[in-house]
Amino acid sequence: MSHRVPFPFALLRFWSRRLLPMWAFVGLVIFLMQIAVCAIVHDNASVKNFLNFLDVLPAFIKTALGGEMLQAGNVPGLILIGYQHPLVLFLYMLFAVGVPTTLLTGEVQKGTMELILSRSATKTQVYVCASMLTLAGMFALVLVMFLGTVAATRLYDFGQPIPLDLFFRIAVNGGLVAGAAGSIALLAAGVLAGRNGAVGVTVAVLVLDYFAWIVAQWWPSLGFLKPAALFYYARSPELAHGWPLGDMSVLLLVILACTILGGVVWQRRDLPL
Amino acid sequence: MATLEVRSLTKWYGPVLGIEGVSFALERGEIFGYLGPNGAGKTTTIRCIMGLIRPGGGEVLALGEPVVSGRATRHQRMGYLPGEFRLWPGVRAGRSLRVLASLGGGDGARARRLQLAERLELDLDRPVGQLSKGNRQKVAVIYAFQHQPELLILDEPTNGLDPLVRQTVLDLIREAAQQGATVLLSSHDLSEVGAVCGRAAILRAGHLVEMGPISKLVQRGEHRLKVWFLDGALEPPVPLGRLPGVRVIEQQPGLLHLAYPGACDAVLRWVAQFPVDRIATPQTSLEEAFIQYYKTAPPPAAAAGAEPAPKGNP
């Protein structure tokens, strides 16, 4: 007779506490980044200087930060710089790559996975714990980013109403993009034996994806690459008017496919204990 | 019903053999020694029993339930001590043990944990990374025993421990068995297997080459005979050609130390021709028997399947 193994909440709690300092640090930097961007944006003189500076730099940098949305007076477009600033994207990537590889391949390499799996925790449950922390952590970071914008609108006067509902939609959609990045890392951690391999593959995929998106925007003949890039969905044109349900479905599909595939391979393969 | 039953277990790592056709069964309250040199397949067997790796063939029944890889079959009632025990270095030993105990309920584990720590003289408040090798091994022992399991799978449990603590660990194993727990003890230390185990199996290159009560395993090796001759007697040359399998371990004026296989009849008849002062038959140790198995056991291909596992052998 088969006995059902209870869900390992103790492991979930233990891992959450170990990740909390890293999550809090990344969250704090992202939060402060939004405040800093809004501090610059609410001052017209600073905005003009900043835009003049951007015009001096190669065009793809302006493209990466928002492209034609970056106009003096277009306050929402300027605030969005904080949502796609390279530092913010780097921090997201750090968390997305770091969490599943630390929890899955990291514990395997440390030898502690053998102990975890020798207790009452199935391989699938362990993978689910890592998935929950990765996806929930990524989504929560995006909400912290939105809270940074909300806090900035209370701190600074922009001379015009700030459409927070738009930013909320962007944040939720961005949460799905971040979750998709996390699910790619989960897939790598579930499939690959070593932590370095999993980190390397995930970073390579995300960097290529990012540059495919930049190049596709900058070079019209490569526009067909856009839908293949995760970052394309972060800036869905439909966001200005409502929820981009089609794009969100694509992102959800990527999250589900990568997470489930990683879980299936993780369950089936012998871990290098 | 056997507490642990391993049936024709086979595991290949690509083209490399881990184990093949390994079968044995352990009864309740039994301490079973699992012997073999490095790379013989002991850890592979143990990991298959724990469901940590997927066997290529055969099956394992732990506490009556078929073990499915990765499904933590009956782990709540099993204690495991891996050959290489590693914990989170920055986390205190007590906290690590608490987390691992709570994966599977952990009711009553705290009291037992503290009791074991006191008995092994271990400070659980120190981070694991600051503990010596011996103290980390004590943590491993507590990890395996803290939830009072019914089935203990121990891979080199006394590795790195001083002789006093080693005795305490062997006592713990005996006590657990007296309370009804079944123990599979994999070890290189044959003296400790001889001291606590009722039965043992010897593994060679992934195949079980021998299994049975310790006393029987020891008997199947070489026997020893020490002969002291009367003063002034001639030192007789040993006719090795007429005594097949006999070898001289030591020969001094007035003393002859022989090793012989099987029955002693031929050796005694030859010795009786000389003026003998006294004789002694030193006990062959399990270690000597083990070495003999490795010298004389048939090649693995011939040994595979040649040793059907006796079931329910006390």
Structure confidence by residue, pLDDT tens digits, B8-60: 999 999 999 999 999 999 999 999 999 988 889 999 999 999 999 999 999 99
Asked if the C-beta of B1 comes within 8 angstroms of chain A's C-beta atoms, the answer is no
Q: Are residues A14 and B82, on separate chains, in Cβ contact within 8 Å?
A: no
pLDDT digits (tens, 9 = 90+) for B197-251: 999 999 989 999 889 998 887 776 678 899 998 876 666 788 888 888 888 888 8
Which of A110, A120, A264, A267 to mutate to test binding with chain B, by most B CBs within 10 Å of its CB?
A120
- For residue B184, the SS3 value is strand
| Separation of alpha carbons B251 and A253, rounded Å | 82
| Separation of alpha carbons B131 and B142, rounded Å | 14
Of the partner residues A14, A120, A267, the one whose CB lies closest to the CB of residue B70: A267
Q: Min CA distance, B276 vs chain A (Å)? A: 59
Asked if the C-beta of A2 comes within 8 angstroms of chain B's C-beta atoms, the answer is yes
Asked if the C-beta of A19 comes within 8 angstroms of chain B's C-beta atoms, the answer is no
Q: Is the distance from CB of A32 to CB of A39 less than 8 angstroms?
A: no
Asked if the C-beta of B309 comes within 8 angstroms of chain A's C-beta atoms, the answer is no
Of the partner residues B69, B71, B75, the one whose CB lies closest to the CB of residue A119: B75
Q: Are residues B75 and A116, on separate chains, in Cβ contact within 8 Å?
A: no
B153 → chain A, closest CA residue:
A118
Q: How many CB atoms lie within 10 A of CB A160?
A: 9
Q: Is the pLDDT of residue B302 over 60?
A: no
Position A113 scores a pLDDT of: 96
Q: Min CA distance, A2 vs chain B (Å)? A: 7
Torsion of CA B22, B28, B29, B34, to 10 degrees: 0
A14 → chain B, closest CA residue:
B99
Of the partner residues B52, B74, B88, the one whose CB lies closest to the CB of residue A114: B52
Of the partner residues B52, B65, B143, the one whose CB lies closest to the CB of residue A273: B52
Of the partner residues B52, B86, B100, the one whose CB lies closest to the CB of residue A110: B86
Asked if the C-beta of B83 comes within 8 angstroms of chain A's C-beta atoms, the answer is no
Q: How many CB atoms lie within 10 A of CB B127?
A: 15
Sorting pLDDT into bands at 50, 70 and 90, what band is B305?
A: very low
In the block, residue with structure tokens 């989960």: A186
pTM: 0.85
Where residue B68 falls (left for φ over 0; alpha for ψ -120 to 50; beta otherwise) is beta
Tell me the pLDDT of chain A (273 aa) as tens digits: 557 889 999 999 999 999 999 999 999 999 999 998 888 888 777 777 777 787 787 777 777 666 666 677 778 888 888 887 878 888 988 898 999 999 999 999 999 999 999 999 999 999 999 999 999 999 899 999 999 999 999 998 888 888 999 999 988 988 898 899 999 999 999 999 889 999 999 999 998 998 888 888 878 888 888 888 888 888 777 888 899 999 999 999 999 999 999 999 999 999 887
Q: Min CA distance, B70 vs chain A (Å)? A: 5
Position B151 scores a pLDDT of: 97
CB burial of residue B45 (10 Å; 0-12, 13-18, 19+): buried
Position A105 scores a pLDDT of: 94
DSSP assignment letter at A70: -
Size of interface A-B (CB pairs under 8 A): 81
Residue type, A22: M
Q: Is the distance from CB of A191 to CB of A270 less than 8 angstroms?
A: no
| Separation of alpha carbons B111 and B116, rounded Å | 9
The mean of the pLDDT values for chain B is 87
Residues 90-119 of A with CB under 8 A from B: 110-112, 114-119
Q: Min CA distance, A106 vs chain B (Å)? A: 11
Tell me the average pLDDT across B126-145: 96
Asked if the C-beta of B11 comes within 8 angstroms of chain A's C-beta atoms, the answer is no
Chain A positions in Cβ-Cβ contact with residue B84 (cut-off 8 Å): 111
Angle, in degrees to the nearest 10, between helices A9-41 and A44-56:
100
pLDDT digits (tens, 9 = 90+) for B90-100: 999 999 999 99
Position A267 scores a pLDDT of: 95
DSSP assignment letter at A271: P
Q: Give residues with Cβ within 8 angstroms of B44, minimum separation 6.
A: B11, B18, B19, B53, B206
Q: Are residues A120 and B87, on separate chains, in Cβ contact within 8 Å?
A: no
Sorting pLDDT into bands at 50, 70 and 90, what band is B310?
A: very low
Q: Give residues with Cβ within 8 angstroms of B85, minimum separation 6.
A: A111, A115, B136, B137, B139, B140, B143
Q: Give residues with Cβ within 8 angstroms of B90, minimum separation 6.
A: B127, B128, B129
Q: Give residues with Cβ within 8 angstroms of B136, minimum separation 6.
A: B85, B87, B128, B160
Asked if the C-beta of B136 comes within 8 angstroms of chain A's C-beta atoms, the answer is no
